């Protein structure tokens, strides 16, 4: 077959015109997929950090507290790095222990945001909404009714004997998973002692765990070193965010019944003065909430209110 010289030239010119356009289209497609937003929410507590076993690590009066603010920050950073390796583009962290001013904010990357201090209506989950893709719990502990686990309690070791949702006692991890579930967001990772990890995995199948220590008793554990724990958390956070579709959001639907049992009579007696509250027994009040958002706000009120508040 004879090909005229001119047609080869015009073919090459046409190719030369098309190729840059294809390259530009490919580059646009790649950058669009690279910028696909993937929002990860991290709720961080302290009792479940590597090595944390007693109040000495957990509050400003403890001799190891300043050191443990560093360790908490490093475990949160490990979770952030793991999430990023799995494609996370935005991270919101909520400091959710004690005074909620534990994490060293100046150690966090510039594009991470941090929620600090109380009160906040969604408690340890403030800032969560339906725009998030996954939730990670870092440094968590087991619940008040669990006979095992380091520092096992639910929201207040001093004041609450049990927190029940729809009749079932729940640890903070399950309570907070139900808040995330209200917004359709799955919890995909929990870090803490072995009891804490098993407790959430029993309620929410498929959640990844990073057990950084084995509980021996309320104030004792057999722990990994902080560096080894951070490597584990980084690895598990990456796997959890990558496989997030395997976990269903933990949805309780509505209405949700809260039964809150205090350690003493008087808080229950006073709360039952309110027409929205029923007194179930001497130390237990019941509040039926429209949904987990309303229920969380009730808990935040009960935990935060006192008539002598200033300013
Ligand atoms: Zn805590």
Q: pLDDT-derived band of residue 13, with 50, 70 and 90 as boundaries?
A: low
User: Does residue 189 lie in a domain region?
Assistant: yes
Percent of the chain with pLDDT over 70: 89
Q: Is 50 exceeded by the pLDDT of residue 59?
A: yes
Ligand 1 center–CA 285 separation, angstroms = 23
The whole-angstrom separation of Cα 256 and Cα 83 is 32
User: Does residue 9 lie in a domain region?
Assistant: no
For residues 224-250, average pLDDT: 98
User: Does residue 65 lie in a domain region?
Assistant: yes
Ligand 1 center–CA 117 separation, angstroms = 13
User: Does residue 147 lie in a domain region?
Assistant: no
User: Does residue 48 lie in a domain region?
Assistant: yes
Q: Is 70 exceeded by the pLDDT of residue 254?
A: yes
| Domain at 206, CATH number | 3.40.50.10780
According to DSSP, residue 33 is labeled: H
Core vs surface per residue 106-135: b (16+ CB within 10 A) or e: eebeeebebbbebebebbbbbebeeebbbb
The whole-angstrom separation of Cα 217 and Cα 151 is 8
Q: Is 80 exceeded by the pLDDT of residue 15?
A: no
Q: Is 70 exceeded by the pLDDT of residue 46?
A: yes
Ligand 1 center–CA 168 separation, angstroms = 21
pLDDT tens-digit map of 124-146: 999 999 999 999 999 999 999 99
Sheet with 112-115, strands from edge to edge, namely 112-115, 90-95, 39-44, 134-140, 187-193, 208-217, 220-223
pLDDT tens-digit map of 61-106: 999 999 999 999 999 999 999 999 999 999 999 999 999 999 999 9
> 93 vs 72, 100, 115, 125, 252, CA distance in Å?
12, 11, 6, 9, 24
Q: pLDDT-derived band of residue 253, with 50, 70 and 90 as boundaries?
A: confident
Ligand 1 center–CA 69 separation, angstroms = 12
Residue 108: name the closest of 135, 133, 75, 68 by CA. Answer: 75
Better-predicted residue by pLDDT, 132 or 16: 132
- For the ranges 3-12, 120-129, 149-158, the lowest mean pLDDT is seen at 3-12
The whole-angstrom separation of Cα 243 and Cα 187 is 11
Q: What local confidence, expressed as pLDDT, does residue 12 receive?
A: 53
Ligand 1 center–CA 62 separation, angstroms = 14
Upstream peptide bond of 119 is cis (omega within 30 degrees of 0)? yes
User: Does residue 112 lie in a domain region?
Assistant: yes
* Greatest distance between any 2 Cα atoms in the chain: 102
Total domains present in the chain: 1
Q: pLDDT-derived band of residue 22, with 50, 70 and 90 as boundaries?
A: low
> 243 vs 38, 154, 164, 194, 236, CA distance in Å?
13, 29, 30, 21, 10
The residue segments making up the domain with residue 89 are 37-142+172-246
Instruction: Count the helix, strand and coil residues of the chain and give each as a percent rounded to the nearest 5.
Output: 40, 20, 40
User: Does residue 118 lie in a domain region?
Assistant: yes
Residue 49: name the closest of 70, 81, 72 by CA. Answer: 72
Ligand 1 center–CA 25 separation, angstroms = 50
Residue 192: name the closest of 96, 114, 263, 109 by CA. Answer: 96
Ligand 1 center–CA 124 separation, angstroms = 10
User: Does residue 66 lie in a domain region?
Assistant: yes
Q: Is 60 exceeded by the pLDDT of residue 23?
A: no
């Amino acid at each position: 077959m004879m090909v005229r010289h001119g047609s080869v030239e015009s073919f090459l010119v046409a190719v030369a015109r098309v190729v840059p356009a294809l390259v530009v289209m490919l580059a646009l497609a790649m950058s669009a997929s690279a910028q696909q937003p993937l929002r990860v929410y991290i709720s961080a507590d302290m009792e479940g950090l590597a090595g944390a076993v007693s109040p000495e690590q957990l509050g400003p009066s403890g001799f190891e507290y300043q050191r443990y603010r560093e360790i908490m920050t490093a475990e949160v950073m490990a979770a952030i790095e793991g999430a990023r390796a799995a494609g996370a583009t935005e991270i919101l962290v909520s400091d959710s222990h004690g005074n909620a001013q534990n994490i060293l904010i100046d150690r966090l990357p510039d594009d991470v945001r941090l929620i600090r201090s109380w009160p906040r209506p969604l408690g340890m989950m403030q800032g969560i909404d339906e725009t998030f893709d996954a939730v990670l719990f870092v440094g968590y502990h087991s619940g008040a009714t669990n006979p095992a686990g380091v520092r096992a309690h639910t929201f207040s070791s001093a004041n609450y004997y049990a927190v029940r949702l729809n009749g079932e006692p729940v640890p903070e991890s399950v309570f907070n998973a139900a808040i995330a579930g209200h917004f359709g967001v799955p919890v995909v990772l929990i870090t803490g002692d072995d009891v804490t990890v098993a407790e959430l995995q029993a309620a929410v199948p498929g959640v990844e765990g990073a057990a950084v220590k084995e509980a021996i008793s309320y104030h004792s554990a057999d722990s990994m070193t902080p560096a080894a724990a951070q490597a584990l958390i980084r690895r598990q956070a990456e796997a959890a965010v990558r496989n997030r579709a395997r976990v269903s959001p933990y949805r309780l639907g509505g209405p949700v019944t809260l039964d809150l049992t205090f350690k003493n009579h008087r808080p229950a007696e006073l709360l039952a003065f309110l027409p929205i509250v029923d007194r179930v027994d001497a130390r237990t009040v019941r509040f039926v909430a429209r949904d987990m958002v309303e229920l969380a706000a009730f808990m935040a009120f009960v935990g935060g209110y006192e008539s002598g508040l200033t300013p």
